[in-house]
Structure 1
Amino acid sequence: MLANLTTYLRHSALFIACSALTSLALAQQNAEGKWYQVEVAVFTQPENAQLAASQETFRKDITLSYGEHTQQLQSVEEASLSKHSANLAGQLDSVASQEADNNANTDVALAGEEPLSPEMINEILQTQAFVKLPVELRNLNETVGALERRNRQRILFHEAWRQPLVDPEQAAAIILAGGNHFENEQELAGTIKFGVSRYIHVHTNIWFSEFANNVGQEQQEWPMVPTPPSGNESQIADAQINLNAGLDKSKQDLWHQYDVIDTTYQNILDKSFIVTNLATLIQTRRMRSGEVHYIDHPKIGILITVIPYDGAPANN
């Protein structure tokens, strides 16, 4: 009896130790971030679905926000210029002369104009995250093309890129934008996050707006559509004030908020277009890698694939 109990305790201790090591390995892998190729396509629903959606009432008492830890997708050229500028900044840290600064600015300008070789493009795509992949490297081209041809659905956004996936709480919010332009605004805007814990977690914070010419008609009390983050978080954007739900007292003193509201109303009057309808898609889903995941909504649909990528330096 005692021998059996001792054997049981030994096996239990071994199991707990192995489980702890496995959990530690998973935690370390999540912290480092295994790389994946991500692809997202956002499209409008067919006309019959749009007609049904027009009968729905979407909430107006909301505040739209891009949130924190936002990340812009870059073209290959933009990524090359950013990398070149960072390298020059590091090289010139110890150089204080104006001549060196002028030379650096000239080099950066020339780097943006110089065509990239296929080898340079391939290196950027393999080593830098959040860079838009060429069309031929996408996996959803045929599916998205069929949506356009058969159902006459408009493709608002379709991009693929590579990135490390970390814990969902630490994940970057990737900025999406697409559809028709209305001055500085577009029909589709918001962010999408990809993180990994036990499963891949996808969080959408997207809004789809419909606009009309501003001819002095009633504003219909839709929330302000925010502009994408500029990187200066100390500035207070007019869009962060929810005119329908009251003042956001956590941001600034009361007098400053009234000034912001006055500015907001003036901005509304000065706009050439106003929002006539707005739908949000704010959801968190779990998915497995290698699958095509579909998120449905009365106004828009989203197709997502997340595939492990072994070409990144972090995985070698």
Structure 2
Amino acid sequence: CSKCASTVLHRDVVVHLKSGCLSAVVPGSPLPPGDDSLRERIKENAETRKAWTEAVAALEETNAQKTSLEASLTELKELLAQSFAVLATLERSSSEGGSESGDSSGRKRHSSKQRDANGSSEVKQLREGIAEVLRAWKDYQIRFMTQRCKATCDQSSSKSPTACCGHEWCAVSYASLKEVALRDGKADAPSSPGYFFGYRIEPMIRFKTHGKSVRMHLGLQVLHGEHDEKLLWPFHHNVRLWMMVPSGQASGGCPLEINADTVDDRFYTKPADGSRGNGPCFSSSSVDLKALESGGFVDNDQLRLRFEVLP
């Protein structure tokens, strides 16, 4: 090429020049000796091309997210319209039923039964419609909060270390906790609270006596947070706890889990203003402390744990 001195096939010269000397260069072609400025220019052109490719990919991803969001909102709007239509029909039916007063008693009973049957069907439709709306809204909210938390973690993990779905901490004074559990029947060790999918949660463990043995349970408490007004209640995510060996690797066995469907709603409802939370709930499953000790999970009187909130 007479412009950049790169090696280009004859058939590709026009394409090469139209691209600003960025394309159709023969791979590994030698450069004129001692031409540092030319080398720098070609390097800058390659970096510019790479940045342009990344920008195009980011734009395409943003456009795809926008399309997905618009589709979700459209679906939600349609479901809401259907639910309100059913509700309006139900109210109109109730109003018409209440205005009938001049019929005979037998006719009244028959009409009342018919209205009850129709009302029952309409109520069922209304409930199904509202349930579908809530499911669609929850799906959208989970997707939105997951993307938002992922972006927050990528941009500034130091400012918000618990904004994503996982949180590691060390339960210290292991021997003392075990001693208290043997004496009092139980001992709790909470972690510092953090935000998970927008919800403020305090993970914890409980050492509890089961006969002559002491076992560890997973626990958590949903706390009053900054984003409560924007979230869907009750909290409905499954959570789990992994035991970590000193090297930082998670246990190869099954983690302790709490299934949201098995938790009383009073623990997962929105905390009242002025309150800290609704109290902790704990897993029914547990692990024997002897298994933790023999498995090498207790190190320097500490137990390293990883708490996760699933989407």
TM-score range, shorter chain: under 0.3
Larger Rg: 2
The structure where strand makes up a greater share of residues is 1
TM-score (norm 1): 0.23
The structure where helix makes up a greater share of residues is 2
